[in-house]
Amino acid sequence: MTRCKNPPKPPDWLATAVKEQQAQFASLNLELHQNEAPHSSDHKKTMSKVDVKAYTAPFLDFITENPTVFHAVNAIARRLEAHGFIGLSARDAGSQKLEKGGKYYVERNGSSIIAFTVGSSYKPGNGAAVIAAHVDALTTKVKPIPTKATKAGYAQLGIAPYAGALNKTWWDRDLGIGGKVLVRDRETGKIETRLVKLDWPIARIPTLAPHFGAPAYDPNPNPETQMVPIIGLDNSDLPGQSTAFDHSAPLGGPGSFTSSQPPRLVRALASQLNIKDYSTILNWELEVFDTQPAQLGGLDHEFIFAPRIDDKLCSYAAIEALIASTKDSNNNNNNSTINL
């Protein structure tokens, strides 16, 4: 690779933006130093005047309450609507009229969302300012047909890695299940998407105790046979009980979607959604997630300990920045770009 001897001069607007940002960083750095207290006898410094617990609480709640990508996108959409953003249909977004000063969003499949504002002084060709992040997380998905044979008296659930998850960090954690469910209305026949989460620990990928020796230290465990979550006990040897995956009397009737799913899981999800007719459940997409809540850690609460922080942290910050930009009247009146 060769270096350009005479690189092109950056446009004036870019140079101005860089200078303004450098000035902001310099001001912020000075402010942080001014807020530092002198070293005390025990070498401690006072924290910033910002109420850390109050400042981080909304993000911590967002992580805890929205364990799947579908819950996260839905929460973001509701927050955008609360600040005046208008939802556009993905099917006919191109035919809907956009106005200067308008705030809009569009989502796809319940798993991705785009929000944008049109500057009050926008003119075609002015360009756009874009922040992008992924809102999904490294997780595990429930397989389309998650049937696993009961083993040693334990009911198991078939799962698959997503984005490189299902590694050793998933062992011995309290796991819940959630996602989206497609349900048909019995009267209208209309299909709707409903969100569900079983946020108590219903699954666990157990490990063998270390004192059992070599078998407990397998460096390359088979995810299909050795990293399978257990979700219950198999009481099939008791009168009147069936196994977790007994299909002799399929729920929802033969050929239905629920007939291919673990009956106990179907009942748990249907109960959570208050569904009596299992045949109205047409499909679902479920994730397995860590139920541990997000919280502050460290002696001075300087850390955020949370599951799914990659990359909900960036996507949350991007949305909050976009919302905050709409609250500045001077910025809105002088904004000549599309912020996305």
CA dihedral 161, 165, 167, 173 (to 10 degrees): -100
pLDDT 10s digit of each residue in the chain, 340 long?
445 555 555 555 555 555 665 665 555 555 445 554 444 444 444 445 788 999 999 999 999 999 999 999 999 999 999 999 999 988 776 667 889 999 999 999 999 999 999 998 899 889 899 999 999 999 999 999 998 888 888 999 999 999 888 888 899 999 999 999 999 999 999 999 999 999 899 999 999 888 988 888 888 888 888 899 999 998 664 555 655 555 456 898 999 999 999 999 999 999 999 999 999 999 999 999 999 999 999 999 999 999 999 989 999 999 999 999 898 766 666 788 899 9
pTM of the model: 0.81
Give the angle subtended at the CA of 183 by the CAs of 177 and 185, to the nearest 5°: 150
pLDDT at 250: 80
State the distance between the two ends of the chain, measured CA to CA, in whole angstroms. Answer: 34
Phi-psi label, residue 69: left if phi above 0, alpha if psi -120 to 50, beta otherwise: alpha
- What's the CA gap between 30 and 25, in Å, rounded? 9
Q: Which positions ≥6 away from 32 have C-beta within 8 Å?
A: 48
- What's the CA gap between 117 and 100, in Å, rounded? 8
- Candidates 264, 260, 269; CA nearest to 233 is 264
Tell me the H-state helices in the chain.
12-35, 52-65, 69-82, 263-272, 309-325, 329-334
Residue with tokens 């946020």: 199
pLDDT at 43: 40
Antiparallel, parallel or unpaired: β 139-151 and 281-290: antiparallel
